[in-house]
Structure 1
């Protein structure tokens, strides 16, 4: 049976119309994305212009943060995200104007534009970038982004004035590790590093995983002393991919950092710490509300119980059984109760849309302690260092409304409310229905 062989002329015509419509929509979207880059680039230029005219010593860093925060609060996203978009937009608009213009007219998509620009990231001469762009844009009009990326790297090499060794030295400065939550109690751990080391680490994990599998197969094929015994259930059934992940986490959590440790072995002694919120009904096995990691990532009940059982001391967060509001925090082993209460209440930085965990933030006095502000729950809250600086050194103003709610007023006069994240708890509603006689 061949696809669409039985389609009528009208149906084939409809398909053609839908395809044309989709192409038109994609071109419109690409044009709007280019326009958005233009707006973000102008916003960045505005910040730098203000800083330049006022001769700011930080060369516009704080002003750019303030502008990004204004835009981000209106969009209800993180200002770090907006500032990163601003930086990328300036880079694309100013360094590759021909590519940006082609995207703006719908000739190429945002994915094609990104592939062209990324391949020529290290071209320093403006004339070389323009010549490269003029060659790549027509190619991108008839090729997919992955083909554009491969071809772009080859074309860019013709314009490179610096050797691969020099460029790699700069690229190494960008090495990093990051975490991305993907749901269902799972997260991704990303790593950017030198290709030889990353591929070497991956190959080592592969060989170790295959070694585990070979050992399991040997055990399964070994003769049994019990002829009538059922099929062995202790044989490792994990795939190579699963074994790679398990081995990598095992090495990261328990291995010593060879070549990087201190003479006293302090780095090897460091253990990872996470904050887990577990409703007591979940621990008892009667609840359906999942435990949460750092107030945002659900984790499975088994892991939550294991962490709670192994903890030498942990905070108990008391919540209202009807409203779920935070009532108090205590600890089986006494400590700094005020800090624990604030951390449990706020869970994250209290600037709108910021997701920094409270444990990584500063505790800020709303009313300055030096001016008589009390060190009390009503006058304290968590702000990450970025937004702590923004509060004290920019036109952003915060007002405490009570019950942990903040009202942030932006430089343009817009007001954004930020309330504490709801507690991960179970609430009960009284059933007023009368039982039948």
Structure 2
């Protein structure tokens, strides 16, 4: 059956109108995205202007953070995200003005513009970038972004003044690893590194996965060895096949190697790096551990994880912090454990769970413990005067017009340089609460 073969003339006309509407909407969206880049670029220039006029020694870094925090708090997003967008916007608007103008006119989409700019990020001469941009914008008006990206790298190579080796040495400085939570107890682990090493690692994982898929996992082989003769199939050449896909096996093997394998390329003769193990923080209601509750466990106060994993970690843990919460409101009451320790730090970490600047998601274990009222001026070292701030927002609090006020119960009021007030409250505890059942009067 041919798709839409039975469509009426009216239905075909409707489809054409919808397509035209979609094209128009995409052009409008692209134009608005270009306009947003322009606003972000102006915000970055404003920060640099303030820094230049005041002769700031940090060359505008703190001013840029302050501007980003102002915009981010109003948008209810992370100020790190906004500052990254500001940097990208300045780069695109100032280095590739022809591409930005084409996007603003709706000739190309934001995806096309990104592909064009990324392919030529190392072009240093402005005239070369303009010539490259003019050629690529024309090409992009009739091609998809993935094709633009491939063609852009070819065209940009004609304008390159530096060798591939020189550019690669510079690009290596950007290597990094990052984590992104995606929900349902799953997260993504990303890695940016030299292509040869990354592809080599991927190929090794592929070969290992194929080998496991053919020979079966150790658990399957062990189970086969312990099967009784009555369970054996008629064929004596039964092949043990792992049912996981290659993609699943790659993921399982990569995590296995990262968590248990020794970093041979970097380790000392004593194997110190190989002895390092990953550490995570899990919170789970005791009723859930007992199988009597439905509240899921949480990983580092960020994302839910399955209860089977939480139970396995609980069983293997050498010690647990006990977080006591109010049975009705769920508010944190106290944190203790049977062994003596830093009770105050544990209490604060359990209460805050993350940096206390609005929209920031840095885990409390990665943050500084800040005195709201300076200890040097008599501020007490007490729960009511302490809170977690990541290093970025710790600096912002002390060296920018942002002001924080303690409201009680762990809540803070942050006032931005423009006078906007944002309330940040502690993240709700991963706990269960109880309510009294209503009694139905007899008739």
Q: Which deviations, in whole Å up to 9, do the C-alpha atoms of 1:256-285 show, x marking residues without a partner?
A: 111312344322221111110111111001
Q: Distance in 2 between matches of 1:144 and 1:222?
A: 59
> Which of 182, 198, 218 pairs up with 2:223?
218
Is the CA contact 2:68–2:82 (under 8 Å) kept in the aligned structure 1?
Answer: yes
Distance change (3 Å), C-alpha of 1:5 and 1:226: closer
Distance change (3 Å), C-alpha of 1:263 and 1:372: farther
Q: Distance in 2 between matches of 1:284 and 1:164?
A: 59
Distance change (3 Å), C-alpha of 1:370 and 1:205: same
Which moves more between the two structures, 273-282 or 33-42?
Answer: 273-282
Distance change (3 Å), C-alpha of 1:313 and 1:233: farther
> 1:429 is paired with a residue of what secondary structure?
coil
Q: Tell me which residue corresponds to 2:163.
A: 163
Q: Which deviations, in whole Å up to 9, do the C-alpha atoms of 1:88-127 show, x marking residues without a partner?
A: 0000000000000000010000000000000001000000
Which moves more between the two structures, 331-340 or 343-352?
Answer: 331-340
Q: Distance in 1 between matches of 2:233 and 2:335?
A: 59
> Which of 337, 356, 375 pairs up with 1:350?
356
Distance change (3 Å), C-alpha of 1:149 and 1:224: farther
Q: CA deviation at 1:231?
A: 13
Q: Which deviations, in whole Å up to 9, do the C-alpha atoms of 1:340-368 show, x marking residues without a partner?
A: 00000000000000000000000000000
- Provide structure 2 residue ranges, at least 5 long, that are not aligned to the other structure: 214-218
Is the CA contact 1:47–1:64 (under 8 Å) kept in the aligned structure 2?
Answer: yes
Q: CA deviation at 1:432?
A: 2.1
Q: Distance in 1 between matches of 2:249 and 2:442?
A: 58
Q: Which deviations, in whole Å up to 9, do the C-alpha atoms of 1:381-401 show, x marking residues without a partner?
A: 000000000000000000000
> 1:188 is paired with a residue of what secondary structure?
strand
Is the CA contact 1:217–1:235 (under 8 Å) kept in the aligned structure 2?
Answer: no
Q: Distance in 2 between matches of 1:247 and 1:329?
A: 37
- 1:424 equivalent to 2:430? Answer yes
Q: CA deviation at 1:36?
A: 0.2
Pairing of 1:38-53 with structure 2 (within 5 A): 38-53=38-53
Q: CA deviation at 1:227?
A: 6.3
Q: CA deviation at 1:2?
A: 1.9
TM-score normalised by structure 2 residue count: 0.94
CA RMSD of aligned residues (A): 2.5
Distance change (3 Å), C-alpha of 1:229 and 1:303: farther
- Provide structure 1 residue ranges, at least 5 long, that are not aligned to the other structure: none
Q: Distance in 1 between matches of 2:228 and 2:316?
A: 37
> 2:376 is paired with a residue of what secondary structure?
helix
Distance change (3 Å), C-alpha of 1:55 and 1:309: same
Distance change (3 Å), C-alpha of 1:432 and 1:215: closer
Q: Distance in 2 between matches of 1:223 and 1:253?
A: 38
Distance change (3 Å), C-alpha of 1:20 and 1:235: closer
Q: Distance in 1 between matches of 2:152 and 2:232?
A: 64
> 2:439 is paired with a residue of what secondary structure?
coil
TM-score normalised by structure 1 residue count: 0.95
Distance change (3 Å), C-alpha of 1:427 and 1:110: same
> 1:202 is paired with a residue of what secondary structure?
helix
Q: CA deviation at 1:235?
A: 5.7
Q: CA deviation at 1:228?
A: 8.0
Distance change (3 Å), C-alpha of 1:318 and 1:229: farther
Is the CA contact 2:325–2:333 (under 8 Å) kept in the aligned structure 1?
Answer: yes
Is the CA contact 2:288–2:296 (under 8 Å) kept in the aligned structure 1?
Answer: yes
Distance change (3 Å), C-alpha of 1:249 and 1:193: same
Q: CA deviation at 1:182?
A: 1.1
Q: Distance in 1 between matches of 2:58 and 2:199?
A: 39
Is the CA contact 2:115–2:146 (under 8 Å) kept in the aligned structure 1?
Answer: yes
Q: CA deviation at 1:296?
A: 1.3
* Regions of 4+ moved over 3 Å: 214-219, 221-236
Q: Distance in 1 between matches of 2:264 and 2:228?
A: 37
Distance change (3 Å), C-alpha of 1:296 and 1:435: farther
